Amino acid sequence: MTNQMNLEHRFFKWLILFFIVFPFCNPSRDKEVIQKRDSGLMTEHWLEDLNYFAEELPRRHKDLFFQLKQEEYLEDIEELKEESFYLKDYEIITGIMKITAKVGDSHTGVSIWRIPAFRHVPVDFKLFSDGIFATAAIEEYQPVIGRKLRSIDGLEIEKVIKILETIISFENEAQVKSQVPWLIGCPEILHALKIIPGPDSVIMEFEGSREIVLKPVQYDIEGLAFISAVDEEQAPPLYLAHRNFYYWYEWLDQEQTLYFQYNRCAEADTLSFRDFIKGMLEFIEDHEPDKFIFDMRLNGGGNSSIAEPLIHALKNNEEINREGKLFVCIGRLTFSSAILNAITLREETNAIFIGEPTGGKPNHYGEVRNMILPNSGITISYSTKYFKETEEDEPSFYPDIEIDLSSADFFAGRDPVLEEILRMK
């Protein structure tokens, strides 16, 4: 019976291909076949995109096949091309994500943000040391806020994460932790991976409550009013206070500590980094802090050379560059060029590193460029350079003191990393 079904499927697929290649045989049928099964991009356009993907990514990437075999790459694309005759757009995009994930380069993959084919349930999730929790939601789903997610459509969340790993371009566990919270709320991806039966709703079970059916909305949800599990009248912890600022600092008078947060390896439009550190170093000279905190937990990279003048100044500051006075905070979102800055700080200063293992890998492919598939407009990032920074090929840059954020810490508005630094003598 199975063989008969496979033969019928192959016959149907090649019948479609025949009418695409020879449209003059049946002009009325041609429009029906080319115009894809449901709404979405025409099949012939997806075939063109997949051919472009097969040819261009190996040509542009520094070394696409450092881990993935070329034969497997091409076979996977051919299989996706065959399946494209009956797949929906989001299933094809998820298929491309599977292929790029096999490359093993966290800088190479599909840019999934704001793809029209993907929607999201109006709930924010975060992954803590004790599990995945709903941290905010629209009023309709308020009962799930603050609760731990146990399963999706009856499948334990741990098993869901394992399936999602097949589409994540990652080199370490930290990168999985940073991407899973968004992916679990995208029904199109969950359906494409056969976690749920359809893309128009997601059944989730939370700890201490019954299953709830969540309906997705378009990803651009800025107009929706979210209710947070954290008291909005309560001041956020420092590391979340100005997460959109490229760089800033604050003087903690009671602790005689200067807290500096570096959120992006780039120049801000309003104040150059050189002018910024000039003012901050003058402040340090005037106030003689007991501790200096360099926080890169939210830094996803950019240009590593931006921070070099500050690292050089810290290295040469005899009052700051002492064990127990200089601290660097890192975490799962510390990535790419921020890793290079962390390596330099470890090599050239007496800093104590504290937080989580980084999302970025010390030896890694980088110098990212983008290519756009001509018909679908899907953006695929790829690496053009290899950075070998350490002799040992560790998957992450590890802190001296590892501290994971728990759900209790987050909901209480605490920062255990900063608290530990301030406790240290």
Mean pLDDT in consecutive groups of 10 residues from the start of the chain, 425 residues: 40 36 33 46 96 98 98 98 96 98 97 87 96 96 96 98 97 94 97 98 94 88 82 88 97 98 97 97 97 98 97 97 96 96 97 96 95 96 95 94 97 97 94
Torsion of the alpha carbons at 186, 190, 193 and 197, rounded to the nearest 10: -140
Neighbours of 62 (CB within 10 A): 16
**371: helix, coil or strand?**
strand
Instruction: Give start and end residues of each alpha helix (H) in 251-318.
Output: 273-287, 308-315
* Category of 40 on φ-ψ map: left (φ > 0), alpha (ψ -120 to 50) or beta: left
Domains of the chain: 2-109 (no CATH), 119-228 (2.30.42), 238-360+396-423 (3.90.226.10)
**3: helix, coil or strand?**
helix
pLDDT value of residue 332: 96
CA distance 163 to 151: 13
pLDDT value of residue 39: 55
Neighbours of 59 (CB within 10 A): 9
Residues 6 or more apart whose Cβ sits within 8 Å of residue 218:
116, 119
Taking alpha carbons only, the member of 28, 4, 29 closest to residue 16 is: 29
Beta pairing, strands 257-262 & 291-295 = parallel
pLDDT value of residue 424: 95
CA distance 222 to 297: 25
pLDDT value of residue 114: 73
Residue with the two structure tokens 């709320």: 185
pTM, to two decimals? 0.87
**45: helix, coil or strand?**
helix
